[in-house]
Amino acid sequence: MKKEWQILQPDIHLVEKLCGILKCHPIVASILVNRNITSAEDVSNFFNTSLDQLSPPFSLKDMDAAVDRILEAIARKEKILIFGDYDVDGITATTLLLEFLRSVDADVSYYIPHRIAEGFGLKKNHISDVAMPNGIHLIITVDCGSEGQDAVKAARNAGIDVIITDHHMISDTIPPAIAVINPKRNDCPSGFRDLAGVGVAFYLLICLRKKLRDTNFWKDRPEPNLKNYCDLVALGTLADMVPLTRENRILIKAGMNIIRSSHRPGLNALIEVCRINKHAIDTDDIVFYLAPRLNSAGRIEHASTAIELLTAKNIKTARKIAYSLNRLNQDRRDIENKILTQVHNHLKKNPHLLQKNTLVLVHQDWHLGILGIVASRLIKKYFRPVVLITTTDGIGKGSARSIPEINLYEGLSACAKNIENFGGHPMAAGLKIKPENIDPFKIHFENIVRRMAKPSDFIPKITIDYKIDFDNISNKLIDELESLKPFGIANHEPLFMTKEVNIVSSKRVGNHHRQMVLEQKIGKTTKTFNAIQFNVDTRIPLKDTFDQIAYRLRWNRWNGRKNAQIIIEET
């Protein structure tokens, strides 16, 4: 697929200004300007990432009402049910509230719906089948609930109060709950729109702990240090791929430090299974190793297994669960590859489908829990909005993913007449649809996306932070690049470009990776670096020279030593 290489051109005056403020490498100053960090205040907000820099959490709409109701439930020993989502964001948010409320002797339990049998969010049947039989007085949702009007009404009729904490898109029709804490509410003044579900839950705990302090609750017991819960916040936030802006950057940086000194047996066991160096663990390790294994529980079996891992009290129990999740993750990969093969074979037989702006595919036997991952992989290959639907149980259920230029939530909203219900974000969503409405939906969705987009939106962009030669690369530069971590959405790891690079040597590593030694000659100067390229077809022979490469710069740490390494992203 043709890709467009775009080299960013930061304002040279702003770069010089930042160099003066930070006394940093001009390349690093350029990268910061590329991230719209252009003033002393921006620099302070970016680099000062201690938890005491978090903005006041009580600015979240309905926070006071939520805290007061929870305090009442604790004092009266009422039964509290935490109702969570089955992804890592929901799992970590559920664990977060569960552990804190247990620490204050609340009568608390949790419930995670089965992804395939029950689907996403709080529903009316959860009130009649779960809450009422168990004598629940208060339901607290995490990472869901914003579209649960019918469920909240049913709970209210049954004398059960509901507090919603969520971060998904929410309409102006707010559920009639005791409190609806969602920073995406139009009437929420907090400015915390980028928080993940676990971030919203963490802010609830900050406020709850303070209110308990105000009532002298901690007089005769130790007050918990909420910093110790930031491992869960970092896990859920990174897994949910939300922007790593101010609040999230602070929470993740604190959380990564907690994970590196992990006190949690479940995390230690999972890190061990993934063969990660715990003391050097980074955000990529969370996103590509830990999160998929935690997610595999909800995708293949039930998300409660992941909560059992995160709440495990000893390493022996944790290891047993971690190895179970590792096996589930392998099962997930096998199912994923099977579906991908079916899709690719279908597209080979029907190449006209790739002439459209959207890709909507249906199969009666696809595993619903895997469709979101498959859709993401199809996005990388075909770069257009993808909707995958399975009709296994007589009703269409699916996952959708989009490209940056097209707001998926808005696109599905425009097709609401074709869909039973849907929910999600601009880049990812889930939906339910009647089989007879699938063909009309395909047509409608294609027309909507065509109106929303322009041709250039369907060309993948490779955004280069800086064009450099190898002789510009120094130990000082790589050290300063590390100071920009954590990397993620809205603070991506810098991408560099170099032209005319010679391949000194190359060898295959595993089945899909290539390790190389690269050199560049500038005049009489020759500089050489070790490089690696992941997930490539190693059967394709290499030329002697790359015309250009796009790459990351990192330290490769091994046996107490570190060496500069190039991670090739594009050639």
Indicate the residue among 242, 260, 278 that finishes a domain.
260
**DSSP labels, 150-167:** HHHHHHHHTT-EEEEE--
Tell whether 439 and 466 lie within a shared domain.
no
Tell whether 552 and 448 lie within a shared domain.
no
**CATH number of residue 407's parent domain:** 3.10.310.30
From CA 132, how far away is CA 98, in angstroms rounded? 20
From CA 358, how far away is CA 239, in angstroms rounded? 26
β-strands 359-363, 179-181 pairing: unpaired
Largest CA distance in the chain: 82
Q: What is the pTM of this model?
A: 0.92
**DSSP labels, 471-527:** GG--HHHHHHHHTTPSPBTTBPPP-EEEEEEEEEEEEEETTTEEEEEEEEEETTEEE
Beta-bridge partner residues of 561: 558
From CA 244, how far away is CA 230, in angstroms rounded? 15
**CATH number of residue 138's parent domain:** 3.90.1640.30
- The structural domain count of the chain equals 3
pLDDT, position 423: 84
Tell whether 514 and 553 lie within a shared domain.
yes
User: Is residue 123, in this structure, part of any structural domain at all?
Assistant: yes
Tell whether 508 and 453 lie within a shared domain.
no
From CA 541, how far away is CA 292, in angstroms rounded? 32
The whole domain housing 89 covers 57-260
Tell whether 478 and 514 lie within a shared domain.
yes
Tell whether 488 and 445 lie within a shared domain.
no
Report helix, strand or coil for 275: coil
3-state secondary structure 363-400: ECCCCHHHHHHHHHHHHHHHCCCEEEEECCCCCEEEEE
Tell whether 479 and 431 lie within a shared domain.
no
Indicate the residue among 458, 473, 506 that finishes a domain.
458
Chain mean position to CA 91: 13
User: Is residue 229, in this structure, part of any structural domain at all?
Assistant: yes
Structure-token pair, residue 115: 């992804």
From CA 33, how far away is CA 48, in angstroms rounded? 17
Structure-token pair, residue 81: 């049910």
User: Is residue 317, in this structure, part of any structural domain at all?
Assistant: no
Helical spans, DSSP H, in 131-245: 149-157, 197-214, 230-239
- For residue 224, give the DSSP letter: P
User: Is residue 452, in this structure, part of any structural domain at all?
Assistant: yes
Say if residues 327 and 397 touch (Cβ distance below 8 Å): no
Helical spans, DSSP H, in 24-126: 26-34, 40-47, 63-75, 88-103, 124-126
Tell whether 559 and 478 lie within a shared domain.
yes
User: Is residue 45, in this structure, part of any structural domain at all?
Assistant: no
Tell whether 166 and 96 lie within a shared domain.
yes
Determine how many CB atoms are found less than 10 A away from the CB of residue 326. 16
Q: Kind and range of the H or E element at 542?
A: none
pLDDT in tens, the chain (571 residues): 789 999 999 999 999 999 999 999 999 999 999 999 999 999 998 998 899 999 999 999 999 999 999 999 999 999 999 999 999 999 999 999 999 999 999 999 999 999 988 988 999 999 999 999 999 999 999 999 999 999 999 999 999 999 999 999 898 899 999 999 999 999 999 999 999 999 999 999 999 999 999 999 999 999 999 999 999 999 999 999 999 988 999 999 999 999 999 889 999 999 999 999 998 899 999 999 999 999 999 999 999 999 999 999 999 999 999 999 999 999 999 999 999 999 999 999 999 999 999 999 999 989 999 999 999 999 999 999 999 999 987 899 999 999 999 999 999 999 999 999 898 888 999 999 999 999 999 999 999 999 999 999 999 999 999 999 999 999 999 999 999 999 998 899 999 999 999 999 999 988 889 999 999 998 888 999 999 999 888 888 888 999 999 999 999 887 778 899 999 999 9
Specify the residue for token string 């029709």: 173
Residue 56: asked if its preceding bond is cis (omega within 30°), the reply is no
Say if residues 200 and 165 touch (Cβ distance below 8 Å): yes
Beta-bridge partner residues of 358: none
Q: Which among 256, 327, 258, 251 has a CA at the least distance from the CA of 287?
A: 256
User: Is residue 299, in this structure, part of any structural domain at all?
Assistant: no
Report helix, strand or coil for 401: strand
Indicate the residue among 458, 492, 510 that finishes a domain.
458
**Which region, left, alpha or beta, applies to residue 249 given φ > 0 means left and ψ of -120 to 50 means alpha?**
alpha
- For residue 406, give the DSSP letter: S
User: Is residue 320, in this structure, part of any structural domain at all?
Assistant: no
Tell whether 478 and 427 lie within a shared domain.
no
Specify the residue for token string 């604790």: 74
Tell whether 486 and 400 lie within a shared domain.
no
CA dihedral defined by 314, 316, 317, 320, rounded to 10 degrees?
150
C-alpha torsion sign, points 267, 269, 271, 274: negative
Amino acid, res. 70: I
Alpha-carbon distances, residue 233 vs 257, 283, 286, 450, 504 (angstroms): 12, 13, 12, 38, 44
Structure-token pair, residue 381: 């290959």
Tell whether 136 and 189 lie within a shared domain.
yes
C-alpha torsion sign, points 328, 331, 337, 341: negative
Query: CB-based contacts of 501: which residues, under 8 Å, 6+ apart?
Result: 470, 518, 519, 520, 545, 546, 548, 549
Alpha-carbon distances, residue 337 vs 378, 384, 511 (angstroms): 12, 20, 16
Q: Which among 534, 539, 498, 494 has a CA at the least distance from the CA of 516?
A: 534
Specify the residue for token string 């979240």: 60
Q: Which among 125, 124, 89, 96 has a CA at the least distance from the CA of 110?
A: 96
User: Is residue 86, in this structure, part of any structural domain at all?
Assistant: yes
**CATH number of residue 565's parent domain:** 2.40.50.140
